[in-house]
Amino acid sequence: MPSATIKLFLVHGDPKRLRTAEISNWTGKAVAGPRSEMDGLLSREEALNPGVYFLTGFDPETGKAAVYIGEAESVRERLKSHLAKDFWNHITFFISKDENLTKAHIRYLEGRLIERARTAGRAVVMNGQSSGSKLPESDREDMEIFLERIVQLLPVLGADALVPVAATPEGRSEKEPLTCEIKGLKATGHLTPAGLVVLRGSQAVLKERASAHNYPNVLTTRNKLIEEGMLVEEDDHWVFSQDVEFGSPSAAAAVVHGGSANGLIAWKDGKGRTLKELEAASP
């Protein structure tokens, strides 16, 4: 992804309230804010334009992050129709400053964004189905560039529904393969900007330690992964059925070990050096 200079404007000076965002040399513009400031968002001139929008929050049935992605020839009018949906608490919409987005363009973007969100697997996509639209080759290439800028800017505004759970490692520390071993079982993973991802096929102990009951978060996390089919029983251990990202190396190690663990010591590189040693050796 290319480097970018982002201009953020905090309308009320508060980073959690109404804000706009632009990327240098890009025709697009984003407007974002909490549901509690719906009136302020809809009163803005940008809301009159065609665009794509994201409603983000949590699925009330599962508690998972959720997103609804839509398109509209008038963002203002379409957003009003979503007030009956109660899962969302934040809005982000994207328009073009040169007003060159047509109905076909935004339908194409909507379809591609829904596809990206489902592939990323980070949030429940609340759309019943995606639309999409066919475009001439030149228009399609322009919209793919527009889409990549949306993907780049959306996390800056607090919504990471398009960020893959197991994105390709980029930085030096992220590219270092790591292992966590216990009782002849092995889990593999690597660092990410959000923590650490344990890769599909990794193993975890079947039974939690007795001391795990002193750390409810460990049990809660393991049980949730089991209920969602991300940990599958195989012989005398659990196996990760898909890549799973954790907020820290310790959180990942705790699931593998079946109890509280220090991730900086539990995770090691191919030469047996712990994360703690690797960080200490960093220039």
What whole-number distance in Å separates Cα of residue 67 and Cα of residue 72?
16
Crossing angle of helices 103-120 and 137-153, in 10° steps, is: 50
Which DSSP helix (H) or strand (E) runs through 120? helix 103-120
What's residue 174's pLDDT?
67
CA 271 to mean position of chain CA atoms: 32
What's residue 6's pLDDT?
95
What's residue 2's pLDDT?
77
pLDDT surpassing 90 at residue 167? no
In this predicted model, what pLDDT tens digit does every residue of 218-272 receive, in sequence order? 888 899 899 989 999 999 999 999 999 998 999 999 999 999 889 999 999 999 9
What's residue 209's pLDDT?
87
Q: How many CA atoms lie within 13 A of 110 on its CB side?
A: 28
What's residue 8's pLDDT?
95
pLDDT surpassing 80 at residue 1? no
pLDDT surpassing 90 at residue 168? no
**Angle made by CA atoms 182, 187, 192, in degrees to the nearest 5:** 130
In this predicted model, what pLDDT tens digit does every residue of 6-28 receive, in sequence order? 999 999 999 999 999 999 999 99
**Considering the chain, what is the average pLDDT of its residues?**
90
Question: Looking at residue 46, what DSSP letter applies?
Answer: G
Instruction: Tell me the three state secondary structure of residue 243.
Output: coil
What's residue 166's pLDDT?
67
What's residue 28's pLDDT?
95
Evaluate whether 122 touches 242 at the Cβ level (below 8 Å): no
Share of the chain above pLDDT 90, in %: 69
pLDDT band at 55 (very low <50, low <70, confident <90, very high): very high
In this predicted model, what pLDDT tens digit does every residue of 170-208 receive, in sequence order? 667 767 899 999 999 999 999 988 889 999 999 999 998
Share of the chain above pLDDT 70, in %: 96
pLDDT surpassing 80 at residue 119? yes
What's residue 203's pLDDT?
96
Its pTM stands at 0.79
pLDDT surpassing 70 at residue 212? yes
pLDDT band at 121 (very low <50, low <70, confident <90, very high): confident
Mean pLDDT of 49-78: 92
